[in-house]
Amino acid sequence: MRDLLPVVAFLLSFLALLLLRYTLLKYLTNRSENAVYNLMLKTIRFPSLFLVFAIPLYVSLQFLRHTQKEYIVHVEKIVLASFILSVSIFLANLAVEALKLYAGRAGLKLPSANVVFALIKGFIVLLGVISVLNLFGIPVVHLVTTLGVGALAVSLALQSTLSNFFSGLSIISSRQIEIGDFVRLENGEEGYVIDITWMNTVIKRADNNLVIVPSSRMVNMIVINYRKPIESMNITIPVNVSYNSDLDKVERITFGVAKEVQKSVEGADPNFEPVVRFTEFGENSIKLNVTLRVLNSDYQGIVRHEFIRRLKQAYDAEGVRMNFLTVSTTCLGIT
């Protein structure tokens, strides 16, 4: 009868812990809409199985210490190995789920990154496996060396992918560029950011075509964000007038039209005082710039359109000539 005590202790402990695990998981499942409970559920579901096995084994071990001493060391190693694996898997799950939870609360858009999450989990669990092998006296030096060489080979093969991934993570976490922003790239492409993933940034141009920029290139180029730090933005419109023009008259008419556009056109900032500045003596005309302000980049097209249309009408009515480049061609007779 005494020989059955370890078995009975193991079975009773195992059933008790199995019931406790079931009750705890059911409790967490019913409250999984809460982010913290959901995190706990995903973190402990699988590693708890190792504890359900290891703890009863440890309990039964107490009945063998004086009768089966030759097995004690081996059983203790199995218990410790189960505990190490349980903790390793728990920490791996915790790292990934905590990252997802943080991203969700911070308002970061997490794209699909199952491969990366698997690598994070695999690395942490691998440390646990190495500890277990070392516990059983299995040499791990060669294994670690092999894994190091393998990791180097994988990193070289996935260099472009990893570069895009970490660059995308930098873009998402910095929030300097967000979905909905109107941006201009250093190559002249411009449009609205409609998607940001850990691999690329998608920009929708005015012609409804998409520009897909790899994240590694996005972080290394100069980008103008017209929505940061504020949405309102200035637009500058160049104007040319004839050398025969009365510049006081030109300035007065131009400023009046600009002021009218600022006050009456939808999307223009009614509180902004437009700026008219002559800039240079051109080859065929005197050049000036007119600065207007719009509430956001959505309105720059219509405000620019209305200003040019109204300015042309005002110049025509007042006899102001807008000069343009003319080319004179002389044909020589050939005899």
- By three-state DSSP, how is residue 32 classified? coil
- Which residue carries 């044909």 as its tokens? 331
Q: Which residues of 89-120 are buried (b: 16+ CB within 10 A; e: fewer)?
A: bbbbbbebbebbeeeeeeebeeeebeebbeee
174-225 against 233-318: fold identical: no
Residue 272 has pLDDT above 70, yes or no: yes
Tell whether domain 174-225 is in CATH 3.20.20.150. no
pLDDT band at 154 (very low <50, low <70, confident <90, very high): low
The pLDDT, as a whole number, for residue 327 is: 43
Please, are residues 190 and 183 in contact by the beta-carbon 8 Å criterion?
Answer: yes
Domain coordinates of the chain in residue numbers? 2-157, 174-225, 233-318
* Sheet with 233-241: strands ordered across: 233-241, 286-294, 275-281
324 vs 177, residue with greater confidence: 177
Distances (CA, A) of 198 to 173, 202, 218, 273: 10, 11, 11, 42
Please, are residues 170 and 219 in contact by the beta-carbon 8 Å criterion?
Answer: yes
The pLDDT, as a whole number, for residue 262 is: 95
Please, are residues 190 and 155 in contact by the beta-carbon 8 Å criterion?
Answer: no
Residue 3 has pLDDT above 90, yes or no: no
The stretch 172-184 carries a mean pLDDT of 85
Render pLDDT for 223-233 as a digit per residue (tens, 0 to 9). Answer: 988 888 888 88
Domain range 233-318, CATH class: alpha beta
φ, ψ at 141 (rounded to 5°): -60, -50
Render pLDDT for 240-256 as a digit per residue (tens, 0 to 9). Answer: 999 999 999 999 999 99
pLDDT band at 324 (very low <50, low <70, confident <90, very high): low
Half-sphere exposure of 30 (CA within 13 A, CB side): 5
